[in-house]
Amino acid sequence: MSSIRLVAKSLVDSWIPGIGYVYRRLRDERATLLDPTPTPFGFKLAGNPSMADGSFEEEEIGVFQKYLEQASTFIDIGANIGFYTCLAATRGKRVIAVEPLASNLRLLYKNLVCSAKHSKCSGGTDTKPE
């Protein structure tokens, strides 16, 4: 995040936090409406487009894929929008993802459904995000 954006965010959050909250809420809702973006990893990802272009955490992904080969199940605590969850699912791994933030959870569900078309992934829960 650029220094100008950091300063602006800090000012808005400290002086008029309601505006910051509304902005982030609208931004997150908009992200759930956008079509998923194809990734170079064989799945589509809704949410942050910069995570889908192949430049997101390149070194970490390489290490992740190396160790994922040896695993049968991937547990993702704090799954965010499900990038690593979908990466594991499209590699045929059983995935368990936990995400407490409702806005991220909506995108996680959307990404899992989209990835399920390309993998053995399926999911369900007895609670729905608000």
> Do 66 and 16 sit in the same domain of this protein?
no
Average pLDDT over residues 114-119: 64
> Do 12 and 63 sit in the same domain of this protein?
no
Count how many domains the chain has. 2
pTM: 0.72
For residues 115 and 73, what is the distance between their CA atoms, to the nearest angstrom?
A: 16
Which range of residues forms the domain containing residue 28?
1-33
Locate 31 and state its tokens.
Answer: 């992200």
> Do 74 and 24 sit in the same domain of this protein?
no
CATH for 121: 3.40.50.150
> Do 88 and 128 sit in the same domain of this protein?
yes
Q: 45-103 pLDDT, tens per residue?
A: 988 888 888 889 999 999 999 999 999 999 999 999 999 999 999 999 999 999 998 88
Strands 94-98 and 73-77: parallel
Which backbone phi and psi does 101 adopt, to 5 degrees? -85, 120
> Do 48 and 9 sit in the same domain of this protein?
no
> Do 55 and 97 sit in the same domain of this protein?
yes
Amino acid, single-letter form, for residue 14:
S
> Do 83 and 53 sit in the same domain of this protein?
yes
SS3 for 25-89 is HHHHHHHHHCCCEECCCCCEECCCHHHCCCCCCHHHHHHHHHHHCCCCEEEEECCCCCHHHHHHH
Q: Residue 117: pLDDT band by 50, 70, 90 thresholds? A: low
> Do 29 and 41 sit in the same domain of this protein?
no
Locate 22 and state its tokens.
Answer: 């509304």
**pLDDT on residue 123:** 47
Amino acid, single-letter form, for residue 118:
H
**pLDDT on residue 122:** 43
pLDDT at 7 over 50: yes
